[in-house]
Amino acid sequence: MSILVDENTRVVVQGITGREGTFHTKRMLEYGTVVAAGVTPGKGGHEVEGVPVFNTVKQAAEKEGVNVSCIFVPPPFAADAIIESASAGLDLIVCITEGIPVLDMVKVASFLKTRKSVLIGPNCPGIISPGKTKVGIMPGPIHKPGPMAVISRSGTLTYEVVDQLTRVGLGQSTCIGIGGDPLVGTTFIDHLKRFKEDPDTEGVVLIGEIGGTAEEEAAKYIREEFKKPVIAFIAGQTAPPGRRMGHAGAIISGGQGKAEDKISSLKAAGITVAMDLGALGKTVHEVMEKR
Protein backbone atom coordinates (compact mmCIF):
# COMPACT_ATOMS: atom_id res chain seq x y z
CA MET A 1 0.00 0.00 0.00
CA SER A 2 0.87 3.66 0.09
CA ILE A 3 -0.63 6.70 1.75
CA LEU A 4 -2.37 9.67 0.12
CA VAL A 5 -1.33 8.85 -3.48
CA ASP A 6 -1.21 5.73 -5.66
CA GLU A 7 -1.52 4.61 -9.28
CA ASN A 8 -5.12 5.88 -9.38
CA THR A 9 -4.17 9.45 -8.47
CA ARG A 10 -5.14 12.04 -11.10
CA VAL A 11 -3.03 15.18 -10.87
CA VAL A 12 -3.66 18.76 -11.93
CA VAL A 13 -0.57 20.98 -12.18
CA GLN A 14 -1.27 24.59 -11.22
CA GLY A 15 1.18 26.82 -13.06
CA ILE A 16 1.77 24.17 -15.74
CA THR A 17 2.70 26.72 -18.43
CA GLY A 18 5.54 28.21 -16.38
CA ARG A 19 9.12 26.98 -16.72
CA GLU A 20 9.15 24.89 -13.53
CA GLY A 21 5.62 23.64 -14.06
CA THR A 22 6.35 22.45 -17.59
CA PHE A 23 9.68 20.86 -16.67
CA HIS A 24 8.34 18.85 -13.74
CA THR A 25 5.12 17.94 -15.53
CA LYS A 26 7.30 16.18 -18.10
CA ARG A 27 9.26 14.42 -15.36
CA MET A 28 6.07 13.27 -13.62
CA LEU A 29 4.64 11.96 -16.87
CA GLU A 30 7.86 10.06 -17.54
CA TYR A 31 7.58 8.46 -14.10
CA GLY A 32 4.07 7.25 -14.87
CA THR A 33 2.09 9.81 -12.91
CA VAL A 34 -1.35 10.47 -14.39
CA VAL A 35 -1.12 14.21 -14.98
CA ALA A 36 -4.66 14.67 -16.24
CA ALA A 37 -4.82 18.47 -16.42
CA GLY A 38 -3.03 21.74 -15.95
CA VAL A 39 -4.27 25.14 -14.83
CA THR A 40 -3.08 28.59 -15.81
CA PRO A 41 -5.65 31.41 -15.81
CA GLY A 42 -6.10 32.73 -19.34
CA LYS A 43 -4.38 29.74 -20.96
CA GLY A 44 -7.42 27.44 -21.08
CA GLY A 45 -7.62 25.44 -24.30
CA HIS A 46 -3.85 25.03 -24.66
CA GLU A 47 -1.85 21.84 -24.07
CA VAL A 48 1.47 21.19 -22.33
CA GLU A 49 3.17 17.84 -23.04
CA GLY A 50 -0.21 16.64 -24.29
CA VAL A 51 -1.92 17.66 -21.04
CA PRO A 52 -5.03 19.88 -21.46
CA VAL A 53 -4.85 23.27 -19.76
CA PHE A 54 -7.85 24.86 -18.03
CA ASN A 55 -8.46 28.30 -16.58
CA THR A 56 -9.57 27.01 -13.16
CA VAL A 57 -9.12 23.97 -10.94
CA LYS A 58 -12.89 23.56 -10.78
CA GLN A 59 -12.99 23.12 -14.56
CA ALA A 60 -10.14 20.58 -14.40
CA ALA A 61 -11.96 18.63 -11.69
CA GLU A 62 -15.21 18.60 -13.64
CA LYS A 63 -13.66 17.69 -17.00
CA GLU A 64 -10.79 15.40 -16.00
CA GLY A 65 -11.71 14.10 -12.53
CA VAL A 66 -8.49 15.32 -10.89
CA ASN A 67 -8.17 14.69 -7.15
CA VAL A 68 -4.64 15.94 -6.40
CA SER A 69 -3.02 19.28 -7.16
CA CYS A 70 0.68 20.04 -7.60
CA ILE A 71 1.40 23.77 -7.33
CA PHE A 72 4.22 25.63 -9.14
CA VAL A 73 2.68 29.09 -8.79
CA PRO A 74 4.87 32.11 -7.86
CA PRO A 75 4.85 33.06 -4.15
CA PRO A 76 2.48 36.06 -4.35
CA PHE A 77 -0.26 33.87 -5.87
CA ALA A 78 0.43 30.50 -4.25
CA ALA A 79 -1.89 30.93 -1.26
CA ASP A 80 -4.80 31.66 -3.57
CA ALA A 81 -3.85 28.60 -5.64
CA ILE A 82 -4.03 26.40 -2.52
CA ILE A 83 -7.40 27.86 -1.56
CA GLU A 84 -8.68 27.35 -5.11
CA SER A 85 -7.82 23.63 -5.01
CA ALA A 86 -9.35 23.21 -1.57
CA SER A 87 -12.50 25.00 -2.74
CA ALA A 88 -12.72 22.56 -5.66
CA GLY A 89 -12.75 19.67 -3.20
CA LEU A 90 -9.43 18.05 -4.09
CA ASP A 91 -8.24 15.39 -1.65
CA LEU A 92 -4.57 16.39 -1.61
CA ILE A 93 -2.69 19.60 -2.41
CA VAL A 94 1.08 19.53 -2.86
CA CYS A 95 2.62 23.01 -2.86
CA ILE A 96 6.19 23.11 -4.16
CA THR A 97 6.43 26.92 -4.09
CA GLU A 98 8.91 28.44 -1.65
CA GLY A 99 8.91 31.97 -0.31
CA ILE A 100 5.19 32.23 0.46
CA PRO A 101 4.66 34.97 3.09
CA VAL A 102 3.84 33.56 6.51
CA LEU A 103 0.72 35.72 6.81
CA ASP A 104 -0.56 34.21 3.57
CA MET A 105 -0.10 30.75 5.07
CA VAL A 106 -1.98 31.81 8.19
CA LYS A 107 -4.92 32.60 5.92
CA VAL A 108 -4.53 29.24 4.17
CA ALA A 109 -4.39 27.32 7.45
CA SER A 110 -7.58 28.97 8.64
CA PHE A 111 -9.36 28.17 5.38
CA LEU A 112 -8.26 24.54 5.31
CA LYS A 113 -9.86 23.92 8.71
CA THR A 114 -13.22 24.07 6.95
CA ARG A 115 -12.23 21.76 4.07
CA LYS A 116 -11.33 18.09 3.56
CA SER A 117 -8.15 18.78 1.60
CA VAL A 118 -4.76 17.69 2.97
CA LEU A 119 -1.89 20.09 2.26
CA ILE A 120 1.73 18.99 1.88
CA GLY A 121 4.17 21.91 1.90
CA PRO A 122 4.74 24.62 0.96
CA ASN A 123 8.45 24.74 0.16
CA CYS A 124 8.68 20.98 -0.24
CA PRO A 125 9.69 18.32 -2.80
CA GLY A 126 6.28 16.61 -2.65
CA ILE A 127 5.24 12.98 -2.23
CA ILE A 128 6.10 9.76 -4.03
CA SER A 129 4.77 6.22 -3.85
CA PRO A 130 7.59 4.39 -5.64
CA GLY A 131 6.50 2.43 -8.69
CA LYS A 132 3.04 4.02 -8.56
CA THR A 133 3.13 7.80 -8.78
CA LYS A 134 5.08 10.89 -7.81
CA VAL A 135 3.64 14.34 -7.24
CA GLY A 136 6.43 16.86 -7.06
CA ILE A 137 10.09 17.23 -7.94
CA MET A 138 11.73 14.11 -6.48
CA PRO A 139 14.25 12.27 -8.69
CA GLY A 140 12.27 9.14 -9.51
CA PRO A 141 15.08 6.67 -10.31
CA ILE A 142 16.52 6.59 -6.78
CA HIS A 143 13.21 5.40 -5.31
CA LYS A 144 12.27 1.72 -5.17
CA PRO A 145 9.12 0.06 -3.76
CA GLY A 146 9.56 -1.40 -0.30
CA PRO A 147 8.70 -1.29 3.41
CA MET A 148 10.27 1.99 4.61
CA ALA A 149 8.40 5.27 4.93
CA VAL A 150 10.32 8.54 4.83
CA ILE A 151 9.06 11.82 6.32
CA SER A 152 11.37 14.79 5.97
CA ARG A 153 11.55 18.52 6.59
CA SER A 154 14.49 18.79 4.19
CA GLY A 155 14.20 18.38 0.42
CA THR A 156 17.74 17.55 -0.66
CA LEU A 157 18.45 15.42 2.41
CA THR A 158 15.42 13.34 1.50
CA TYR A 159 17.11 12.37 -1.76
CA GLU A 160 20.34 11.44 -0.01
CA VAL A 161 18.51 9.28 2.53
CA VAL A 162 16.34 7.55 -0.08
CA ASP A 163 19.40 6.78 -2.20
CA GLN A 164 21.10 5.20 0.82
CA LEU A 165 18.01 3.13 1.66
CA THR A 166 17.74 1.86 -1.90
CA ARG A 167 21.45 0.96 -1.95
CA VAL A 168 21.12 -1.21 1.18
CA GLY A 169 18.10 -2.98 -0.28
CA LEU A 170 15.36 -1.11 1.59
CA GLY A 171 12.70 0.25 -0.75
CA GLN A 172 10.09 2.78 0.27
CA SER A 173 6.32 2.64 0.73
CA THR A 174 5.78 6.42 0.55
CA CYS A 175 8.21 9.33 0.90
CA ILE A 176 6.93 12.75 1.95
CA GLY A 177 8.71 16.07 2.13
CA ILE A 178 6.56 18.08 4.54
CA GLY A 179 8.42 21.35 3.94
CA GLY A 180 10.63 23.40 6.17
CA ASP A 181 8.71 26.66 6.51
CA PRO A 182 7.49 27.84 9.94
CA LEU A 183 3.90 27.05 8.93
CA VAL A 184 3.25 23.94 6.84
CA GLY A 185 0.09 22.05 5.97
CA THR A 186 0.91 18.74 7.65
CA THR A 187 3.29 17.59 10.36
CA PHE A 188 5.35 14.54 11.21
CA ILE A 189 2.53 13.37 13.47
CA ASP A 190 -0.13 13.71 10.78
CA HIS A 191 1.76 11.30 8.55
CA LEU A 192 2.92 8.99 11.34
CA LYS A 193 -0.75 8.37 12.08
CA ARG A 194 -1.26 7.33 8.45
CA PHE A 195 1.80 5.08 8.39
CA LYS A 196 0.69 3.50 11.65
CA GLU A 197 -2.34 2.12 9.80
CA ASP A 198 -0.47 1.15 6.61
CA PRO A 199 0.24 -2.62 6.69
CA ASP A 200 2.99 -2.34 4.08
CA THR A 201 5.00 0.22 6.04
CA GLU A 202 7.30 -1.64 8.43
CA GLY A 203 9.47 1.24 9.61
CA VAL A 204 9.91 5.00 9.30
CA VAL A 205 12.88 7.25 8.66
CA LEU A 206 12.30 10.72 10.09
CA ILE A 207 14.51 13.55 8.83
CA GLY A 208 14.34 16.63 11.01
CA GLU A 209 16.37 19.79 11.35
CA ILE A 210 17.00 22.66 13.70
CA GLY A 211 14.22 25.13 14.40
CA GLY A 212 10.76 24.74 15.89
CA THR A 213 9.52 21.84 18.02
CA ALA A 214 8.14 19.43 15.40
CA GLU A 215 10.64 16.70 16.22
CA GLU A 216 10.02 16.89 19.98
CA GLU A 217 6.27 16.64 19.37
CA ALA A 218 6.81 13.67 17.05
CA ALA A 219 8.98 11.96 19.68
CA LYS A 220 6.19 12.23 22.24
CA TYR A 221 3.66 10.75 19.81
CA ILE A 222 6.00 7.91 18.83
CA ARG A 223 6.69 7.05 22.47
CA GLU A 224 2.99 6.91 23.30
CA GLU A 225 1.33 5.65 20.11
CA PHE A 226 3.70 4.38 17.41
CA LYS A 227 5.13 0.88 17.69
CA LYS A 228 6.95 0.46 14.38
CA PRO A 229 10.73 1.13 14.30
CA VAL A 230 11.69 4.77 13.75
CA ILE A 231 15.16 5.96 12.80
CA ALA A 232 15.87 9.69 12.84
CA PHE A 233 18.47 12.16 11.67
CA ILE A 234 18.65 15.84 12.63
CA ALA A 235 20.27 18.25 10.20
CA GLY A 236 22.06 21.40 11.32
CA GLN A 237 23.80 19.92 14.36
CA THR A 238 26.68 22.40 14.16
CA ALA A 239 24.58 25.50 13.39
CA PRO A 240 25.03 28.40 15.84
CA PRO A 241 21.97 30.15 17.33
CA GLY A 242 20.45 32.68 14.96
CA ARG A 243 21.96 31.10 11.84
CA ARG A 244 19.47 30.35 9.08
CA MET A 245 20.11 26.97 7.48
CA GLY A 246 18.57 26.63 4.04
CA HIS A 247 15.08 27.98 4.59
CA ALA A 248 12.75 29.85 6.87
CA GLY A 249 11.96 27.05 9.32
CA ALA A 250 15.55 26.03 9.98
CA ILE A 251 16.64 28.61 12.48
CA ILE A 252 17.35 28.42 16.20
CA SER A 253 15.63 31.20 18.10
CA GLY A 254 14.02 31.94 21.42
CA GLY A 255 15.88 29.16 23.17
CA GLN A 256 14.14 26.51 21.08
CA GLY A 257 15.05 24.40 18.10
CA LYS A 258 18.54 23.22 19.07
CA ALA A 259 19.72 19.97 17.53
CA GLU A 260 20.81 18.55 20.87
CA ASP A 261 17.35 19.07 22.37
CA LYS A 262 15.71 17.29 19.46
CA ILE A 263 18.18 14.42 19.59
CA SER A 264 17.66 14.01 23.33
CA SER A 265 13.88 13.94 22.94
CA LEU A 266 14.06 11.36 20.16
CA LYS A 267 16.45 9.11 22.06
CA ALA A 268 14.31 9.35 25.21
CA ALA A 269 11.38 8.06 23.15
CA GLY A 270 13.37 4.97 22.16
CA ILE A 271 14.12 6.20 18.66
CA THR A 272 17.44 5.35 17.05
CA VAL A 273 19.16 8.61 16.08
CA ALA A 274 21.84 8.43 13.42
CA MET A 275 24.56 10.99 14.12
CA ASP A 276 26.40 10.39 10.84
CA LEU A 277 24.36 11.10 7.70
CA GLY A 278 26.73 9.04 5.60
CA ALA A 279 25.94 5.92 7.64
CA LEU A 280 22.17 6.41 7.86
CA GLY A 281 21.31 3.70 5.34
CA LYS A 282 23.50 1.19 7.17
CA THR A 283 21.95 2.22 10.51
CA VAL A 284 18.40 1.76 9.20
CA HIS A 285 19.31 -1.66 7.77
CA GLU A 286 20.73 -2.77 11.14
CA VAL A 287 17.66 -1.61 13.05
CA MET A 288 15.27 -3.33 10.65
CA GLU A 289 17.29 -6.55 10.78
CA LYS A 290 17.03 -6.66 14.59
CA ARG A 291 13.32 -6.00 14.93
What residues are labeled active site? Answer: 247
Amino acid at 177: G
Amino acid at 21: G
**How far apart, in whole angstroms, are the C-alpha atoms of residue 212 and residue 185?**
15
**How far apart, in whole angstroms, are the C-alpha atoms of residue 12 and residue 165?**
30
Q: What region does 42 belong to: left with phi over 0, alpha with psi -120 to 50, or beta? A: left
**How far apart, in whole angstroms, are the C-alpha atoms of residue 259 and residue 208?**
9
227, with CB counted inside 10 A (0-12, 13-18, 19+), is exposed
